[in-house]
Amino acid sequence: MVFSAVMLAGIGGCDDEKAKGAGATVEGPYADVLDALCNTISRCPNAAGRPFAYRNRNECIAILNFAFTCRLTEIDAPGSAVRFGVKELRPDINAAQSAACVAWLNTASCDAIERGGDNTPCSQAFDLPEDDDGHNAGTAKLDESCTSDASCLANLYCTPEQLDREQGSVACRVCKPRHGEGAACSQYTRQCQDGLHCTYQEDDARRCAPLDADDAVCVDSEQCTSGFCNYTLQQGGGWGKCDSGGVIGAPCDEATESQGLGSSCRQPYYCDAGSCRARRSVGEPCRSDYACERYRCDQEAGLCGVADGQRCSEHEDCRSQVCFEGTCGGPPGACSADSQCADDETCAGLCRPPNCSCSGCPTGICTSKADSSPSCVDDFDCDSNNCLATKRCGPAAVIGSACTDDFRCYPLGYCANNVCVERPGPGQECTRIDTCQEPFLCVEERCQIMNLICKPARAGQRCAALRVCDDASYCDLFDGVTCKPRAAADQPCSQSRFLGVDNCIKGFFCMADDSGESSCKPRPKLGEACSGVCTEGSYCFESVCQADPIGRPCHSSGSCPDALYCHDRQEVCLPRLGKGAACDRWDQSCRSEYICGSSNTCEDRLALDARCDDTIECAQNLYCSRDNYTCQLAATAGQPCDHSTPCVPGLRCSSSERICEPAATAGESCSSAADCQSGVCYQYSFCQATAACTMP
């Protein structure tokens, strides 16, 4: 779906009377896109990916704006309640991109809109910044460690790695303020503030400069105010000119495309009969490959997509939507979706999450649903949310179907008296907080709009994103999802890790006494005894509040000092563990003389002649022989060595003489970790002194 980003389960509402049903004010090009999207959802109900309710156009826009741009953040503070926040990530879309998206929404078929993809005119309109794991990012603060620009808050960028080869050190990447006009910068980062770009100046140095107006010479679209560098206007040398054209309906020259000189239309449009147009979907008319979304035009049929019997790589290449063993169509009964089968059949063998994940999913054969529906363990394994007693996925529930829980009826209904019933709409009577049509909540037995403002709510308002309140309040999920004032010192309190509630004021935590009564007590300070929580800047370890680097945030053990490891789930640096301590094999949490054994405790490494699977299991100066899978002595200085007989730590195998010689020291050249005394070779270049980067 084009709009699958509309995940309404986390939407929340404003409790001020004047703001009920309203969200943050949306203006400019993005507002035009959301307005057109509301029109599209009215015309094509499945475009949003799942149903949601709204009472008027402004409310529709507010809901979509919140769903697309507001993200719930979570900080798991070990030993205390989960802390939640919200952050707003708005697409960087200009007027020309907005106009192109609006034009496509108003003219494209419902099928094309629901199919979506990365080549639609609206793809950038809903493209939010992401981190390295593909999740919406931007939580690292000033001077905190980062892995990319997208890891940092919006007004910061991630510094590049700084190498000191002489010392064999690599400086950690940290978030720093983005630069203003005239400041030195590097290409391919977001070092410059919004409205600026990094470009060469008269002194041949790269500096932040204002975005260029139309007709300015450009090398990429990011330097143009219009967001489009038209290479056909300045042919040769990879240069172009900034151009506000290139949108749907703008004039263009087909000859430049056919001659390989570039396109005078923005991506993903193409030039047709002198005007820029949106590329066509499979099955729509075409005259060239440029006209089709997948760049496959069947010239004989004059249609986008490959005919049955022709070569293909994915189902989407074919007009039949079936690619079987590299050929469109396949044998009789071949299918790629249940919709291609009879009502009483299913497409057996079809790869469907969450049972599996793949690209170019296999083609199935239409088979009786009773025999070949996917196997399952519970409802979560089935697209239909329905795992039968036979451990096969059954049909999706409809209103009136039997049920045992709300999940079986989601998203159209909820479970009442073991029957799926329709969710009540805005203003209607309701029974439970989560039974209304999204994004409405059941409050005071009526369906009321959630909070659509992407900032922490104040006491008395409904919680933002169903969780988030300002520092002076906490979210009470059992009283209308409303923010309540926090408890002060020695006042009664409550805490729930699951619900994310700790209702004490900042600097205090909720502690139960011997009688079981809980009240707010000061958080222990550095060096004081603790039972899971400490003041900010220190970490509770072995019942004492410890100082940095213990408790320092990390993303791998390489980002912690040598004597520490990165806890896989808490993502903080902790001291390595001694013999007998409980450990996690993925953390590399044991001290170097131990290994995390099969019983998940730190154990002695294996002795000479002991059975082994990997060298890491063997004691120092031993390796796991591939001849008999036992721990054997590694070669010492001057002894022969090769890939099957390594040298002891501190030595490396000479590539020319194949004997053990002293390993390289910090800063010396290396081609692998075995070349270095430290065991760390930076990008096949030089030996690092330690695996951890150094904080600047």
DSSP string, 540-606: EETTEEE-TTTT-B-SSGGGS-TTEEE-TTT-BEEEPB-TT-B--TTTT-B-TTEEE-TTSBEEEPB
pLDDT of residue 634: 94
Please give the domain boundaries of the chain with CATH numbers for all domains: 1-131 (no CATH), 144-333 (2.10.80.10), 486-547 (2.10.80)
Q: What is the DSSP letter of 58?
A: H
CA 51/CA 396 separation, integer angstroms:
15
226-266 residue pLDDT tens: 888 888 887 666 688 999 888 888 888 887 776 666 788 88
Is omega for the bond preceding 439 within 30 degrees of 0, making it cis? yes
When comparing pLDDT for 24 and 475, which is higher? 475
pLDDT of residue 357: 33
Cβ atoms within 10 Å, residue 576: 21
The answer on pLDDT for 206 being more than 70 is yes
Q: Are 623 and 615 in contact (CB under 8 A)?
A: yes
Please list, residue by residue across 634-647, b when 16 or more beta carbons sit within 10 angstroms of its beta carbon and e when fewer do.
bbeeeeebeeebbb
Mean pLDDT of 559-576: 82
Is omega for the bond preceding 549 within 30 degrees of 0, making it cis? yes
Q: Are 583 and 600 in contact (CB under 8 A)?
A: yes
pLDDT of residue 485: 92
Name the amino acid, one letter, at 389.
A
Q: Are 266 and 228 in contact (CB under 8 A)?
A: yes
When comparing pLDDT for 339 and 326, which is higher? 326
| Listed range (362-366, 394-398, 624-628) with the worst mean pLDDT | 362-366
Strands (E), 183-243: 196-200, 206-210, 217-218, 229-230, 240-242
CA 450/CA 465 separation, integer angstroms:
8
The answer on pLDDT for 661 being more than 90 is yes
The full DSSP string for 107-122 is HS-HHHHHH--TTSTT
Q: Are 266 and 240 in contact (CB under 8 A)?
A: no
CA 110/CA 108 separation, integer angstroms:
7
pLDDT of residue 181: 93
612-647 residue pLDDT tens: 988 888 998 999 998 899 999 999 999 999 888 899
Nearest to 663 by CA among 630, 625, 635: 635
CA 696/CA 674 separation, integer angstroms:
28
CA 3/CA 26 separation, integer angstroms:
18
DSSP reduced 3-state for 686: strand
Q: Are 101 and 83 in contact (CB under 8 A)?
A: no
Mean pLDDT of all residues belonging to the chain: 80
Please list, residue by residue across 538-554, b when 16 or more beta carbons sit within 10 angstroms of its beta carbon and e when fewer do.
bbbbeebbbeebbbbeb
| Residue 656 confidence class, pLDDT cut points 50, 70, 90 | confident
| Listed range (67-71, 329-333, 527-531) with the worst mean pLDDT | 329-333
| Residue 161 confidence class, pLDDT cut points 50, 70, 90 | confident
For the chain, percent of residues with pLDDT exceeding 90: 22
| Residue 340 confidence class, pLDDT cut points 50, 70, 90 | low
Mean pLDDT of 391-399: 80
Nearest to 113 by CA among 199, 1, 254: 1
Report CA dihedral (495, 496, 497, 499) to the nearest 10 degrees: -130
Q: Are 524 and 108 in contact (CB under 8 A)?
A: no
501-555 residue pLDDT tens: 678 888 888 888 888 888 999 999 999 998 878 887 788 888 899 888 888 777 7
Strand pairing category for 651-653 and 473-476:
unpaired
**Joined tokens for residue 535:** 């003041």
| Listed range (73-82, 155-164, 348-357, 419-428) with the worst mean pLDDT | 348-357
Q: Are 49 and 3 in contact (CB under 8 A)?
A: yes
Q: Are 618 and 626 in contact (CB under 8 A)?
A: no
Sign of CA dihedral 645, 650, 651, 652: positive
Nearest to 30 by CA among 87, 101, 88: 101
When comparing pLDDT for 601 and 149, which is higher? 601
pLDDT of residue 415: 93
Radius of gyration, CA atoms only, the chain? 30
| Residue 479 confidence class, pLDDT cut points 50, 70, 90 | confident
Q: Are 3 and 48 in contact (CB under 8 A)?
A: yes
The CA-to-CA distance between both ends of the chain, in Å, stands at 44
Is omega for the bond preceding 561 within 30 degrees of 0, making it cis? no
Q: Are 540 and 546 in contact (CB under 8 A)?
A: yes
Please list, residue by residue across 312-326, b when 16 or more beta carbons sit within 10 angstroms of its beta carbon and e when fewer do.
beebbbbbbbbbbee
CA 14/CA 465 separation, integer angstroms:
10
CA 483/CA 473 separation, integer angstroms:
6
pLDDT of residue 289: 87
CA 416/CA 408 separation, integer angstroms:
11
> Which long-range contacts does 627-634 make (Cβ < 8 Å, 24+ apart)?
631/606, 631/607, 632/608, 633/608
Alpha helix positions (H), 70-207: 95-107, 110-115
Cβ atoms within 10 Å, residue 336: 23
pLDDT of residue 639: 94
